[in-house]
Structure 1
Amino acid sequence: MATNAHRSSQATIGRQTDNSPNSFLNQHLQQKTSLRYGDCYLRAPTNAFMPEWPNWIHRLSSSSCGTRAEHVRSTRTHSPVSFPLGIESVAASGSHLCDPPINCEPLGSKPPQENYIVAKQIVFDDDARGPLLAGVSKLARAVRSTLGPRGRNAVLDKGWGSPKVTKDGVTVAEDIELDDPFENLGAQLVKEAASKTNDVAGDGTTTATVLSEAIFREGLKMVATGADPMALSRGIQKAVDTAIAQIAKMATPINEKSKSDIKQVATIAGNNDPQIGDVLADAFTKVGKNGVITVEEGRSNETYVDVVEGMQFDRGFLSPHFVTNQDEVTVELDDCYILLFEEKISNNKKMIPLLEAISKAKKPLLIIAEDTEGEALATLVVNKMRGILSACAVKAPGYGDRRKAILGDIAALTGGKAIFKDLGIDLESVKVSDLGRAKQIRITSEATTIVGGAGKKADIEGRVAQIRREIEATDSDYDREKLQERLAKLAGGVAQINVGAATETEMKERKALIDDARAATQAALEEGIVPGGGTALLRCRAAVEKLEKATEGDQKLGVRIIRNVLDQPMRAIANNAGLDGAVVVNRVLQMKGKTEGYDANADKYCDLVAAGIVDPAKVVRTSLTNAASVAALLLTTESLVTEIPVEEEPAGGDHHDHGMGGGMPDMGGMGMGGMGGMGGMGGMGGMM
C-alpha cells in the first residue's frame, strides 16, 4: 500500500494536476521563480507541467529524493519552504525520474540570469576617484608609450593565432580590460574618448588618452584642496574653448592638388612612413577631398592604388546575351541613352514606343530599373541579337529610399529624369528627352560604371551640396558612410588602396595604419594643418594664461589645469625619444617662432612646418575636446556601482558531500559517493 501511495504521489506531482491556489508549488510556478536545491539547475520542458506554466527551472538534489519533504529556496524570495517534490532520482544524464518521466536540461551550477539577483557594491568620494585614477593611469601608461615617431610597440595577445604588434593607440586601448571593476570603469571611459577621437578625426587617440589622464590627475589635486568639481569642470571648458580658438587661428589650409602637402600630412599620420605618404598622396590627388578612398588587403607584397573613374554601382547585366566584348565578357556602350525607372518592367508593349524612338536615333540604351523581366527582357535580348538595337538592362542599386536617392544622383550626373511611381508617369509616356546621356558605360556581371555623364554642372553641385547637408545632419555612422559614398561618386571618384605585406600580421598592422593616416589626411584637407610634435597645444598656453588671469574662484583653478597639461603630448614624445620631456618643453617655449619645435625623428629643433612635421588641426582640436570632456566627467564622479565579482568554482566542483546521482536502474553503485557502476558489477567502496 505504501508503495502504491508512493507511486500515486509521484504521478500527481509529475503530471502537476493540482493547480489549486493553496498549492505552494503552483504559486511558485505562477510567480515565475526558479526552485533551487542541491548542486545543479535543471530546466523542465513546457509539456511537463500545466500548459500555462512555461519552462520553469528547478534545482534538485543529486541524491535520491523519494517522497520525503525537501527544503527548497526560491532564488527570488530567498525564503526556505518544505513540500514533497515526488521525484525518485536525478541521474548523471540530467534527467529526473517521475511518473511520467520528465527529461530536464542541465543548466550548470549557477541559476539562470533572468531569475538571479546580482548584488552590487558601491564606493563613494575618494574611494571612488582613487580607483578611477588608477585605471586611467594604467591605460594611459600603455598607450603613451606608442606616441611619436620613436614610440614603442605594444604586443597584444589575441588568445588565438599569432599576437598582434601595433603602435596604434586606439588599438592598444581597445584591447585593455582591467581586473578590478572600479579601475576598469575609469579605463573604459577614457577608451571612449580615444575611440570617439578616432571616429571623428581618424588620429589623435594617443594624445586624447594622455590629455585625459593629465587633466584628471591635476583635477584631483584641486579637489583634494577643497575645490568644487563642478566649478573646475566649467573652468576646464572655458580654457578648452580658448585653446580651440587659438588652434583655428594657427591652422594653415593645404592645397588639395598639391601632392607634396598631402604627402607631408600622410607621412606623419602614418608613423613617418614615406611609402604610406606616397600612396595616400597619389590617391587623394586622383579623387580629390570629396572622393572615397578604401583600404583593402592586397594579394602581393606591393601596396598600390586602383582608381575607378565615374560613377560605379554594384549591379551587373541581367542577361549574358547583352555582352558586346566577348573576350572580357563585358557590355560596352558608347554615347548611350539611360532610362531610370523605379518600378519593375515586364510588359514589352509599354516599352515599344520608346525603343522605336531610340532605334531611329541609332544610339544604345541602358535601362536601370527595379527589375526587367519576362517579355520586356526577351524583347531587349532579341533586338540586340538581331542588331536592331544595342541595349542592356541592370537592376537599380540600393533599396527603398536609398534606391530613390541613388537614382536621383544618376539623373543629376547624366542629365536625365528619374521616373518614380509617385510622379504618376507611365512608361508609355516616357520621351527621349527624359533619358540621361553618358559618353561611355561599361557593365560586367557584377558592376556598372558610368563615365562622362551629360548632366549640368550646376545640377551636380546642387546635389553635392544637398548630400553634404545630410552628412552634417545625420547621427548614424552607417548613413554617414553611405552618404559619403554617394558624394564621392558624384563629386570625385573612388580609389582603392591595396595593402601589401610579407606576413598576415604585418598586413593587418599596415592596413590599420594606412586607414588611420587616410582619415587624418582627410581631416587636414577639411580644417588645415598646425605644427606637429605637440607644439600646437603648447603654443596655446599664452592665451589660456590670459584667461586664467581674468577668471576668479574655483573656475580659475579649472583654467589652470588646462594650462598645466598642454605640454603633456610634447613631454611624452620627448620621453619616448629618450630625452627629458621637461627640458624639451622649456627649450621650445624659449623659441620665438610659433612653428618652431622639436623634431623627435631627426632629434633636432627646427621649423616644424618647413620640415613637414605637421598635424591636422581637426585632430588636435578633437583630441583636446574629448579628453577634457571625459576628464571633467571623471572629476565630477562621486560614486561607483559595480557588480560584486563572483569567484568561479574549481573545475572539479566543490567538496561537499553531494553524491553524483544514483545509478541507472539495475546498475550497481560505484565509488565516489554512489556513481553509477556498470551493470552486473558490484559497487566499490566509497573513496571518501
Structure 2
Amino acid sequence: MIRQIRFEDGKSRIAEGIRSLCRALSLEGGILVKGTYCFSAAEVAKELEGEDLFMNQGIRLACAAISEINEVTGCGTRETARMMGSLLSVCERKAASGINPVFLAKDLKQAADSLEAAVLNGSFFSGKSKGELIGQITRDPETARMILKGTEAGELVVKESMYADTRLQITRGMHLDGPLTVGESGTFSEVLVLIVNRPLSSFGELVPLLQKLGQQKLFILADQIEGEALSLLSANVKKDRLHVWAMKAPGIGRRKEDIMGDVAVLTDTRVFDGMYPCSIEEIPLQMLGKANVLTAAGTYTVIEGDADRDMVRNRIVDIKKKIGDPKTNYYDKQKLRERLAALNGTAPVLYAGGDTLSQSKEEKRRIEYAVAYAQTIERYGIYHTKDLLSVSFKSEAEKMLAQVISKSLDGEEISTWLLVLMLRKVCGLMVMWLTTGAVMVSTGYDREDLELIKNGVDIERLRG
C-alpha cells in the first residue's frame, strides 16, 4: 500500500479533524444530513471527510470513540464531543507551553484512572423503572412498552421494518430464514433432524438412512440440496412415501457454520460432513437430533428443541463472551444476539418502522440506544455531576480533567457507565494524540493490493 508520512504537521491536522467533528456534534438538536435530521456520529463524520487524509484520520478516530460509547450506553454523543473538544484544547495549550507531551500523557492517564475509581464509588441506583428509563430516549410510550415486553421475553433483536409502523414479533424456537426445497408447509411434532455441512447431490447415500425411518419424520438442513437428491426426495414426498422436509442452511461462510452448530446443539445432534464420525449411509437414528415442533412456512422455518440442557447453556456462555469482546464489531454483535435469542428458545424481534429507509434506520438506532441506556442505568446506576468537583484531587491533572468534564455535562445526573467510558475513551484518544510522532496514511494501492481487492479481500481491515 502506498503510504504518506508527516510529523508535526500531520499531528496538528489530526487535531483539526477531531475538533471539526466535535464542533458539529456539540450543537443542540439533530444535525441535518442529506435532508434528514441525524444523531449518528458515523453519518456526520462521513459528510465531514474531505480531501485532507490527515484530517479524515482525526475525524475517524473521534467518530470511533463516540460511536463505541453510543452503542454501549445508548447516549452521550453531545457530552462526549464537548469533553473531547475541550480536553483537546487544554492539551494543545499545555503542549505549546513547553510541557513534555509524554509526561502530560502519563499524568492524564493516571488522572483518568483516579477519577474513574471515584465515579464508580460514588454511583447510586435510580428510583425510576426500566420503562421510564426507556421512555426518556424513545419519547413514545407505545414503543417503550414494546421494548420492555421484548426484553422481558428474551434477548431483544432490533431490525429495520418494511412498514411505517413499529411492531414487536415474538417467535418461540429457532428461526431459520429461507424457503423449503423439499416438503410442504405446516406444523409438525417429534421430527428427527439431520444436519450436513456439505452439498447433498446423491440420493443413494441417503437411502440407507431413509429406510430406517419408517413412518418417522425427518428434517434435513444442508449446505445445498441439488441434483438427484433434490428431484428424488421431492418425488417421493409428493407420493407420500417419505415424511421429509429439507432446506438450504441460511447465511454464508462462517455464519452458516455457526447457525448449523446452533441447530445441532439445540436438537442434541452434531453436524455431519459425510466422513467423520461416519458416512451418511452409516448414520444410526440415535445420532440424529430431535425437534419437538417444526413449523415450516413459506419463507422461513422454526425449530423448537430442548433449550434446557448443559450443551445449550455452555454455547450461550460462549456467545455472550464474544458479544462482550471489544474486538467484536457492531454488525457481528447484532448477529450474535440473534443467535443468542434463538438458543434461549424465545426470539423477540422489534421491527423499527419509518416512512422512508433513512427514517427506519434512525428509529432502529434510537430503539437500540434506548435499550442500552436502560440496561446500563439498571446495572451501574447514575452519578451526580456536582460530586465530581468535590473529589479530593491528588494532582493538577485530576483537577483539570474534572473541570473539563463538568463543563461538558448539561444535567445534574449522568449514567455512571457513560461517564466511565468518557474518561476511558476520550482520555485514551488524547494520550494517543500526545504521544504521536509521525502520522502515516494510505494514499493509494499498489499492484499487490489491487490483486487482493479483485479477489474480494478487504485490505483496509486486513492491514489496519
User: What TM bracket, shorter-length normalisation?
Assistant: 0.7 to 0.9
Deviation at 1:479, TM superposition (A): 4.6
Larger RCO: 1 or 2 (CA < 8 Å, sep 6+): 2
- 2:15 is the alignment partner of 1:143: no
Contact 1:296 1:511 in 2 (8 A): yes
Report SS of the residue matched to 2:320.
helix
Whose Rg is larger? 1
Candidates 522, 534, 539, aligned match of 2:387: 539
Q: Which is worse superposed, 338-347 or 182-191?
A: 182-191
Counterpart CA distance in 2 for 1:254 and 1:139 is 32
Deviation at 1:566, TM superposition (A): 2.4
Deviation string, structure 1 residues 607-653 (Cα, Å, up to 9, x no partner): x6xxxxx63x443322221111222334445788999xxxxxxxxxx
Contact 2:174 2:345 in 1 (8 A): no
Assess, with a 3 A threshold, how the Cα gap between structure 1 residues 314 and 178 changes in structure 2: closer, same or farther: closer
Candidates 281, 287, 294, aligned match of 2:158: 294
- 2:32 is the alignment partner of 1:155: yes
- 2:312 is the alignment partner of 1:468: no
Deviation at 1:429, TM superposition (A): 1.8
Deviation string, structure 1 residues 502-530 (Cα, Å, up to 9, x no partner): 566655543432243344445556xx143
Deviation string, structure 1 residues 326-347 (Cα, Å, up to 9, x no partner): xxxx243222111122333344
Candidates 259, 263, 266, aligned match of 2:134: 266
Candidates 424, 427, 443, aligned match of 1:625: 424
Q: For residues 138-537 of structure 1, what are the structure 2 equivalents within 5 Å?
A: 138-146=20-28, 152-156=29-33, 158=34, 163-168=35-40, 171-177=43-49, 187-250=59-122, 261-270=129-138, 272-287=139-154, 291-300=155-164, 302-319=165-182, 322-323=183-184, 330-359=185-214, 362-451=215-304, 453-454=305-306, 456-472=308-324, 475-477=327-329, 479-491=332-344, 493-501=346-354, 506-521=359-374, 523=376, 528-531=379-382, 535-536=383-384
Higher fraction of helix = 2
Q: For residues 47-126 of structure 1, what are the structure 2 equivalents within 5 Å?
A: none
Contact 2:157 2:334 in 1 (8 A): no
Deviation at 1:230, TM superposition (A): 1.6
TM-score under structure 1 length normalisation = 0.56
Deviation at 1:463, TM superposition (A): 1.4
Equivalent AA in structure 2 for residue 539 of structure 1: D
Equivalent AA in structure 2 for residue 417 of structure 1: R
Counterpart CA distance in 1 for 2:223 and 2:424 is 46
Equivalent AA in structure 2 for residue 203 of structure 1: C
Q: Which is worse superposed, 330-339 or 617-626?
A: 617-626
Candidates 403, 406, 410, aligned match of 1:564: 403
Contact 2:41 2:67 in 1 (8 A): no
Contact 1:413 1:456 in 2 (8 A): no
Contact 2:6 2:438 in 1 (8 A): no
Counterpart CA distance in 2 for 1:209 and 1:243 is 19
Report SS of the residue matched to 2:350.
strand
Q: For residues 17-56 of structure 1, what are the structure 2 equivalents within 5 Å?
A: none
**Structure 2, gaps ≥5 residues long:** 443-464
Equivalent AA in structure 2 for residue 267 of structure 1: G
Assess, with a 3 A threshold, how the Cα gap between structure 1 residues 207 and 299 changes in structure 2: closer, same or farther: same
Equivalent AA in structure 2 for residue 354 of structure 1: L
Equivalent AA in structure 1 for residue 221 of structure 2: I
What root-mean-square deviation, in Å, do the aligned CA atoms of Structure 1 and Structure 2 show? 3.8
Assess, with a 3 A threshold, how the Cα gap between structure 1 residues 516 and 564 changes in structure 2: closer, same or farther: same
Assess, with a 3 A threshold, how the Cα gap between structure 1 residues 368 and 511 changes in structure 2: closer, same or farther: closer
Contact 1:236 1:561 in 2 (8 A): no
Report SS of the residue matched to 2:195.
strand
Equivalent AA in structure 1 for residue 193 of structure 2: I
Contact 2:137 2:370 in 1 (8 A): yes
Q: Which is worse superposed, 181-190 or 457-466?
A: 181-190
Deviation at 1:285, TM superposition (A): 1.7
Q: For residues 574-593 of structure 1, what are the structure 2 equivalents within 5 Å?
A: none
Q: How many residues align?
A: 440
Assess, with a 3 A threshold, how the Cα gap between structure 1 residues 521 and 422 changes in structure 2: closer, same or farther: farther
**Structure 1, gaps ≥5 residues long:** 1-113, 147-151, 324-329, 549-555, 575-596, 598-607, 609-613, 644-688
Contact 2:203 2:229 in 1 (8 A): yes
Counterpart CA distance in 2 for 1:209 and 1:274 is 29
